[in-house]
């Protein structure tokens, strides 16, 4: 273990000066965001199968939008090297600085308060050490392409579950492993210059007044205990969700919460981050339509959703580094098949799309609806 730490420290010391010197700045400024080829291919195939020529043309435009690549299985990690190599090649041929976006998502006993995205590692089966090895493999890939910037969202839903769902036995049993795993990820990924945004749920989760202080305390404590890793930039909100960044009027389902959109949530949380970097990115990939949910907590393939604001650094807020698409829109949130071992009852609600495949699998009809309902339209 000590030898591994020494190697990582050496890697950090040889990072290019332009990468290391800008750790306290918006990582998106001045960078071209890499478009993952697998998502572009999914979109192009989906567009080709849409018979309405006008809708098909609009769908094709989605292939040019950069999304995050989710590394939810250790077997996918070698793909990161492929993407980084391609980004480096583009950087060299075009003369533009490139940025690759990833989601680190493989904690043991993952998705502790739901079922749709249960992971491959179990705490009972040495899952924490397997997770650390997964992180080490990501570090190894990144260390080979230090001229390419990497931005990572760290473990969607994990820390938010520790704020609100410790009454769920799987979550309380995973608390220590989640904290240790996220701490390890922060420390090791920072050693190779990966800019990190820890997942912070959304306005309808941690944005409730009673949850703000406990959430901030958790982020502050974890960051400090980890040694305040240099490349932890801030927090990611609304990942895989549907909230507006700034709503003209409050959605009825938000009744009782003054933080009824992501901007209000961020502005309420930021002052409480006394020892954690108060910078944010916000997922708006499926936030084009509002007032579509029966309840604020409904999250699974919500009917009526549409593509939202395109990724940009023009956010209108000094707190928000970028509007991004973290969830690759068109990939299912979870299956509606009640016989599946990963079926979650949230995917059977009346405002969830029917005939939905397993989480992460392409959902053609839902993608077409996202295009139809896009706001702004393509």
| Residue-wise pLDDT tens digits, 94-132 | 999 999 999 999 999 999 998 777 899 999 999 999 999
How many distinct structural domains can be found in the chain?
A: 1
180 is in an annotated binding site: no
Residue 285 lies in a domain: yes
CATH code for position 251:
3.20.20.40
Mean pLDDT along residues 305-310:
99
Q: Encode pLDDT of 67-98 as tens digits.
A: 999 999 999 999 999 999 999 999 999 999 99
Residue 320 lies in a domain: yes
Separation between Cα atoms, residue 271 and residue 265, nearest integer Å: 11
Q: Classify each residue of 175-191 as buried b or exposed e, where b means 16 or more C-beta atoms within 10 Å of its C-beta.
A: eebbbebbbbbbbbbbb
Residue 195 lies in a domain: yes
Q: Encode pLDDT of 321-362 as tens digits.
A: 999 999 999 999 999 999 999 999 999 999 999 999 999 999
Is 157 known to be catalytic? yes
Q: How confident is the model at residue 10 (pLDDT cuts 50, 70, 90)?
A: very low
Separation between Cα atoms, residue 126 and residue 128, nearest integer Å: 6
Residue 173 lies in a domain: yes
At residue 8, the pLDDT reads 40
Pick the catalytic residue from 109, 157, 321, 344: 157
Tell me the residue range of the domain where 366 lies. Answer: 32-332+361-373
Pick the catalytic residue from 261, 321, 333, 369: 333
Pick the catalytic residue from 111, 261, 283, 298: 111
Is 333 known to be catalytic? yes
At residue 114, the pLDDT reads 85
126 is in an annotated binding site: no
Residue 8 lies in a domain: no
Q: Which residues contact 337 (CB under 8 A, 6 or more apart)?
A: 343, 356
Q: Encode pLDDT of 235-254 as tens digits.
A: 999 999 999 999 999 999 99
Separation between Cα atoms, residue 338 and residue 376, nearest integer Å: 35
70 is in an annotated binding site: yes
φ/ψ of residue 301, rounded to 5: 45, 55
Is residue 93 within a helix (H) or strand (E), and if so which, with residue range? helix 77-94
Separation between Cα atoms, residue 376 and residue 378, nearest integer Å: 7
Residue 179 lies in a domain: yes
Is 318 known to be catalytic? no
Which of 8-17, 19-28, 199-208 bottoms out in mean pLDDT, i.e. has the lowest? Answer: 8-17
Residue 341 lies in a domain: no
At residue 24, the pLDDT reads 85
331 is in an annotated binding site: yes
Residue 14 lies in a domain: no
């Amino acid at each position: 273990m000590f030898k591994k730490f020494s190697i990582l420290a050496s890697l950090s010391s040889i990072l290019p000066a332009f990468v290391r010197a800008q750790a306290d700045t918006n990582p998106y400024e001045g960078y071209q965001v890499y478009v993952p080829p697998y998502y572009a291919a999914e979109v192009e195939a989906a567009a080709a199968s849409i018979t309405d020529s006008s809708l098909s043309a609009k769908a094709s435009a989605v292939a040019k939008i950069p999304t995050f690549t989710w590394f939810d299985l250790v077997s996918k990690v070698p793909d990161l090297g492929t993407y980084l190599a391609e980004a480096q090649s583009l950087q060299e041929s075009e003369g533009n600085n490139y940025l690759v976006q990833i989601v680190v998502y493989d904690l043991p006993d993952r998705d502790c308060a739901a079922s749709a995205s249960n992971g491959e590692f179990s705490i009972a089966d040495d899952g924490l050490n397997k997770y650390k090895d997964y992180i080490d493999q990501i570090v190894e890939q990144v260390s080979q392409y230090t001229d390419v910037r990497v931005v990572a969202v760290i473990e969607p839903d994990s820390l938010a579950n520790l704020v609100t769902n410790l009454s769920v036995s799987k979550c309380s049993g995973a608390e220590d492993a989640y904290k240790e795993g996220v701490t390890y990820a922060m420390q090791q990924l920072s050693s190779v210059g990966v800019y990190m945004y820890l997942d912070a749920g959304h306005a309808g989760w941690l944005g409730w007044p009673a949850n703000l202080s406990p959430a901030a305390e958790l982020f502050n404590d974890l960051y400090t205990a980890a040694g305040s890793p240099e490349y932890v930039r801030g927090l990611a909100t609304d990942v895989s969700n549907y909230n507006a960044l700034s709503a003209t009027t409050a959605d009825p389902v938000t009744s009782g919460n003054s933080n009824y959109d992501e901007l209000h949530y961020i502005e309420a949380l930021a002052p409480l981050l006394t020892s954690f970097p108060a910078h944010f990115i916000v997922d708006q990939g499926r936030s084009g339509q509002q007032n579509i949910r029966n309840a604020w907590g409904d999250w699974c393939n919500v009917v009526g959703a549409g593509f939202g604001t395109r990724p940009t650094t023009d956010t209108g807020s000094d707190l928000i580094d970028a509007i991004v698409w973290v969830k690759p829109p068109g990939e299912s949130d979870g299956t509606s098949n009640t016989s599946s071992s990963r079926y979650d009852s949230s995917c059977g609600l009346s405002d969830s799309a029917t005939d939905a495949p397993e989480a992460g699998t392409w959902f053609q009809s839902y993608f077409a609806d996202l295009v139809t309902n896009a706001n702004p339209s393509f």
